Amino acid sequence: MNILNLFKKQRIKEVDDLVVGVIEGKIKDLDVIEETLKKFQKKYSKYYIDDELSKEFESKIVHLRVNLKSIYDIEPSKKIKGNSLLSLIDDYTVIDIETTGLSTKTDKIIELSALKVRNGKIISEYSRLVNPIIKIDRFIEELTGITNKMLSREKSIEFVIESFIEFIGPDIILGHNINFDIQFINQALEELSLNLLLNDYIDTLRMSRKVYKEIPNHKLSTLIEFHGLTRDKHRALVDCILTHQIYQKTVKKVKKEGINLSSKKSRLYQKYDLSELKPNYDLIQDDHYFANKSVCFSGELVQFQRVDAAQLVINHGGKVLSGVNRNLNILILGDDEYYKSDENELSIKHKKALQLKNQGIDIDIIGESKFVEYIKGNKNSEIQD
């Protein structure tokens, strides 16, 4: 449905001229476009159609971001995060957060923790609880041991996050599934009009997939058990320490065995026969996001082997395609691919999907983190930590 018609359907009479200007392609200034997106999301969220509206509106902005540089000879929108590295280093800062849930739109940070490491040794630590201003549910209380009473005595994010960023400094940051942490941190920074966290980063989840091919999955809890470590509680600082220990063990293994981390011939990219993947009918729900949708993958996935991600889609009633065409409903990108803003760096599938969207074909383009969020949102989800 055309976005302006959707406004009319919902009887929204006061449509901001800037919103209309962006939708109709009359406004080309990136700063104005970005500011309009923020106003759009805030103003129309009260109509409870934010997701449907934002999907099309944000797709307009994606097109503008990747095309403006060549058309108008200006730089694309600001960088969203640093570069993903597979490096063996001795100096870094480990980060981990706890949140009220999985969505950066509706959930909040409740704990920020970090460890400063020099020459492979921890030299200082940072850990602060954060008042999310909203109540956390019993599941989070039981998982983390953090209670609403504890949080009520703490300061909110605007009084905490700058000291956290200052502690990190210019270091390369290390974390397990660190894209999750970076997205929440940058969401908070953006809401406070502060500079984003753009440090280069090492994801131990990505690295472990290349190094520990013998284990069934690469969740932090699995790696903790595999290395004979213990986790007495699910808290951010504890997870920082464990992530640091796992990284140190991984570095030693890579050096000792001469493992080539840059090799792309890993299980992540093994070819697989889509016809051999069969659904788990116990998991299929007719109202699930992937139900009856055609899905395709592009870019490196960090949390899954491609075949496992495809199986998850099929288990939830979706169909996986090998390429992008007019029948595609959803393109799932690795997070690094999803956040690229230079048109020349986009994958062939990514470019083709954008071209089809520009022709009016309704294709959702989401990153791996959003994919995980949709899968975990299912009460029967196989993904747990």
**Does the structure show a pLDDT above 80 at 236?**
yes
The domain of 287 spans 267-376
Does one domain contain both 252 and 275?
no
Backbone angles phi, psi at 100, to 5 degrees: -80, -15
Q: Where residue 349 sits, what CATH number does that domain have?
A: 3.40.50.10190
Does one domain contain both 156 and 247?
yes
Catalytic, 63? Answer no
Query: Is position 25 within any domain?
Result: yes
**Left (φ > 0), alpha (ψ -120 to 50) or beta: where does 202 sit?**
beta
Domain boundary, last residue among 194, 228, 257:
257
Banded model confidence at residue 380, pLDDT cuts 50, 70, 90: very low
Query: Is position 47 within any domain?
Result: yes
Domain boundary, last residue among 223, 257, 291:
257
Average pLDDT over residues 232-253: 95
* Assigned token pair, 298: 């592009």
Per-residue pLDDT of 175-202, as tens digits, reads 998 988 998 999 999 999 999 999 999 9
Does one domain contain both 49 and 185?
no
Q: Where residue 233 sits, what CATH number does that domain have?
A: 3.30.420.10
**Left (φ > 0), alpha (ψ -120 to 50) or beta: where does 155 sit?**
beta
Does one domain contain both 89 and 57?
no
pLDDT > 70 fraction of the chain, expressed in percent and rounded: 71
**Does the structure show a pLDDT above 70 at 160?**
yes
Query: Is position 118 within any domain?
Result: yes
Query: Is position 366 within any domain?
Result: yes
Q: Which of the following is catalytic: 63, 176, 234, 244?
A: 234
The residues pairing with 117 across neighbouring beta strands, listed in sequence order, are 92, 122
Residue that wins the pLDDT comparison between 65 and 130: 130
Does one domain contain both 68 and 89?
no
Domain boundary, last residue among 203, 237, 257:
257
Residue that wins the pLDDT comparison between 114 and 303: 114
Does one domain contain both 225 and 171?
yes
| DSSP secondary structure of 148-200 | HHHHHTSPBGGGTHHHHHHHHTTPPEEETTHHHHHHHHHHHHHHTT-------
**Does the structure show a pLDDT above 90 at 253?**
yes
Per-residue pLDDT of 275-307, as tens digits, reads 677 766 665 667 778 889 999 999 888 777 788
Residue whose structure tokens are 């949140």: 99
* pLDDT value, residue 31: 55
Does one domain contain both 251 and 292?
no
Does one domain contain both 89 and 236?
yes
Mean of per-residue pLDDT scores for the chain: 80
Average pLDDT over residues 159-181: 96
Whether the full predicted model's pTM is greater than 0.75, yes or no, is no
Residue whose structure tokens are 């908070």: 188
CA 124 to chain centre: 28
Does one domain contain both 107 and 210?
yes
Does one domain contain both 250 and 128?
yes
Does one domain contain both 295 and 343?
yes
Per-residue pLDDT of 34-92, as tens digits, reads 565 555 555 554 444 445 455 555 555 444 444 433 333 333 334 577 888 999 999 99
Query: Is position 384 within any domain?
Result: no
The DSSP output letter for 131 is B
What is the number of structural domains in the chain?
Answer: 3
